[in-house]
Structure 1
Amino acid sequence: MKNLLFAISMLFLFSCSSNTEKKADFSQMTFSLDTVMVDSKDEILNLKSGLWSSDFSTDKKYLYNFSSYDHSIEKIDLDLLEFVGRFPFEKEGPNGIGDYIGLIQYLPAERFYINSNLKNGIFNLQGVKVGDLNFKYEELQGDSLPIQNRLAYGFVFDEKPNQIIGVFRDWFNSETTFGILDVRQKTYLDKAIKEFDFLKNFTTVLNGDQGYPIAIIVPWVWANKENGKIIIGNNASSDLYIYDFASDSLWFETFESRLTANRKTGTYPAEAASKEEFDVLNKTFGEGITFMNPVWDPAKQVYFRFSFLQEFKEEEGKSVNEKAVVYLSILDQDFNLVSETVVDVLDKRPNFHFVKDGKIWIFENIDDEMAFIRLSIDSQE
């Protein structure tokens, strides 16, 4: 295992609280970075998806990474930093998981909710389907769910195993729906997230000679499950929707940053007049402030959230990502903005990341081997 360690003191912007409960003081911080390598045991691990098709055991001891190379799940021990085993799945048949796999979700006892473009189900690590969650859009009753709105992120809770709580997207029309789908009752209950309707203003299509779209600029909508809640956000604004499964409540949060804009800016026509105009708009969109998903630290009882400003350079007539100014926002458990800072120790946009053992682990591909840059944030108690 390779470790690179250094530290730097940082001054954070701090918002005072009247709460008398003793909490970490984020006004004075020490950052440290180290890099750890995962022993692949001579296996070729799937790194091309950036680990975005992966999930963790409840205690964060194991990482389960889906490999599209051979339709398997790679199990990684994050304590020992080594490959544990590969577990194959079938594409077709009674235990088939489908062809294109977007996300996997870990459930207790090494079960996984897996959704593809055509199939939904719960499977064990031996590849056996233990719960059928397939549905047909045209058979759903209740609130309206346009058939072109496809499941982008789905989550399952053992308390209600027949329900998929999901984010549905029509990418070309930049429409987003969040709701609860019951596959047994064949119903859909919409929970409106109208505050994301503005994302249509940042969508531009480039049509080809035949009039069909060949490229599109569209904000990314993401969702992740943290601390018993489903957090829904997008990369164009700092706004969040939070759904609490226990109370079946959904609410909207806005934030006022003292360091960055709270939303991307610019004017984006519905259709680009030329490829040249499309390329300029695409670069402008990429250069604007970009927001990532909050990740929960159970030890400090806060959410850490990265955002960044991407910098580009011209290389052989094309704009190439060079580096980024990275920011870190800290939210308390009620999603109040506690503090924010520039993270000088990071000079490029963070990849897939999570919190384990009090550190933010950021995935890094180093010479085609799985590695993690670990960011420690030591605060006063």
Structure 2
Amino acid sequence: MDHFKSKFLLISILLYSCGQKSTFDSPQVFYYQLDTVKIDSKNEILDLWGFASFSDLDLDGRTIFSYNSFNHSLDQIDLEKLEFKKRIGFEKEGPNGTGEIFVGFNVLKDNRFFIKSYVESGIFDNSGNLIQRIDWRKSINSNGEVYREYPRRQIIAEAEDLLVFGLSYDYENVEINLDVLSVEENKVNRLGLNSKKSYGDLSIRSARSGNIVDPSIEFQNQNNKIIVSYEFSNEIVYYDLKEKALKFVDYNPTLTPKRVNPPNIRVGSLEEIIKEVKHFYEQVKFYKPVWDPESKQYYRLSTKTIYAEEGTEKSTETYGEVQEIKVFLSVFDTEFNFLMEREIKELSEFDNDYFMKDGKLWLFINLEDEFGFVRLSLSK
């Protein structure tokens, strides 16, 4: 165990009820603690990009798997011992082929994995063998027609029926939908996400290529909920697997706007698009909500970026030199009622991946090209 540049902070936070439905009926004193740890790679080459892009906790929360694009494998990291544990190799082609590259995966029970590539998805065992192929394009939609699509993002849910949820991007109308494939019935049901305000209105079309520059979307399975969240809007949409219902979450944050202002252009040059997106980051960027089974709460980070004034020398960064990033933590109860929001002043940099373990928020960071985590715990 290597506690790299470890830091301990204990800060009292006074929380008040914010006028919305809340479990806090009176002032509460909370403390948060930060420390930084590094993973012992055991001389293995780990893929930092793969971890930041595609990773998933095992079901007991003791280890985490991440994609290694160097050798098309899943690396298992022991979060108790903070060290590399083992590597599971997969084939790209053939009867057990996953496809050329992972674009998402989920850890399932009984040592199985749901793996998605660009054009294929399937369930595999922990030896890399294919158990079941998932084929959206041969399924039937609600109109009785062949579905023929292949959702860019997919998540599997092992409920009464094996369900695969997919985000379907409609670039012509600039909207997204949530499609649900029943593997047993081979049928797809489409659920409208009403994504105009959080997605369509915040997308810009390139005047040169015609492609859409759109907000990123987080898509995850947590606490028996399939959760969709947006980059530049605080809106959360989730499908409750127990109630079999789609629900929309609307809340009023106290330290950030609910969403960025729509861009001044619908179609623009590269320079115009960069200017608009930079202004988005200056207003607010939202990250995914994650569930903590210990506190029975969801935690979500958001940021505001402050850029340095443009000097005579042009910055090599796309949006200019960053002067400061303000980080905020929002807390919700089990039904996504907003409880509180606080700035975490000691936290200014992290990659777009974090998860809850043992009541702590683990944030992935690059420590001189090695795996590291900042761990934040929040307690009364």
TM-score, reference length from structure 2: 0.89
In the TM superposition, what is the alpha-carbon distance from 1:74 to its structure 2 partner?
Answer: 0.4
Residues 172-218 of structure 1: CA distance to partner in whole angstroms, max 9, x if unpaired? 7532111211345332111221154552121112243xxx34x6431
Aligned to 1:78: 79
In the TM superposition, what is the alpha-carbon distance from 1:125 to its structure 2 partner?
Answer: 1.2
User: Counterparts in 2 of 1:115-264, with a 5 A limit?
Assistant: 115-136=116-137, 140-142=140-142, 150-157=151-158, 159-161=160-162, 163-170=163-170, 173-196=173-196, 198-208=198-208, 212-213=209-210, 216-264=212-260
In the TM superposition, what is the alpha-carbon distance from 1:221 to its structure 2 partner?
Answer: 1.7
Letter in 1 for 2:189: L
Aligned residues: 371
**Does the 8 A contact of 1:50 with 1:351 survive in 2?**
no
**Does the 8 A contact of 1:113 with 1:123 survive in 2?**
yes
Structure number with the higher strand fraction is 1
Aligned to 2:16: 14
Deviates more, 1:367-376 or 1:343-352: 343-352
User: Counterparts in 2 of 1:1-381, with a 5 A limit?
Assistant: 1-3=2-4, 4-15=6-17, 27-136=28-137, 140-142=140-142, 150-157=151-158, 159-161=160-162, 163-170=163-170, 173-196=173-196, 198-208=198-208, 212-213=209-210, 216-272=212-268, 274-313=269-308, 314=310, 316-317=314-315, 318=317, 319-348=320-349, 351-379=352-380
Letter in 1 for 2:204: T
In the TM superposition, what is the alpha-carbon distance from 1:283 to its structure 2 partner?
Answer: 1.3
CA distance in structure 1 between the partners assigned to 2:126 and 2:189 by the alignment: 31
**Does the 8 A contact of 1:169 with 1:176 survive in 2?**
yes
**Does the 8 A contact of 1:290 with 1:309 survive in 2?**
yes
Residues 28-53 of structure 1: CA distance to partner in whole angstroms, max 9, x if unpaired? 22221111111101001010134331
**Does the 8 A contact of 2:52 with 2:351 survive in 1?**
no
Residues 279-337 of structure 1: CA distance to partner in whole angstroms, max 9, x if unpaired? 21121122221111111111111111111112223463451344311111110011111
Q: Which runs of 5+ in 1 are unaligned?
A: none
TM-score, reference length from structure 1: 0.89
- Share of identical aligned residues, percent? 29
CA distance in structure 2 between the partners assigned to 1:110 and 1:172 by the alignment: 40
In the TM superposition, what is the alpha-carbon distance from 1:146 to its structure 2 partner?
Answer: 8.0
What value does the CA root-mean-square deviation take over the aligned residues? 2.7
In the TM superposition, what is the alpha-carbon distance from 1:348 to its structure 2 partner?
Answer: 2.9
CA distance in structure 2 between the partners assigned to 1:25 and 1:5 by the alignment: 31
Q: Which runs of 5+ in 2 are unaligned?
A: none
In the TM superposition, what is the alpha-carbon distance from 1:350 to its structure 2 partner?
Answer: 5.3
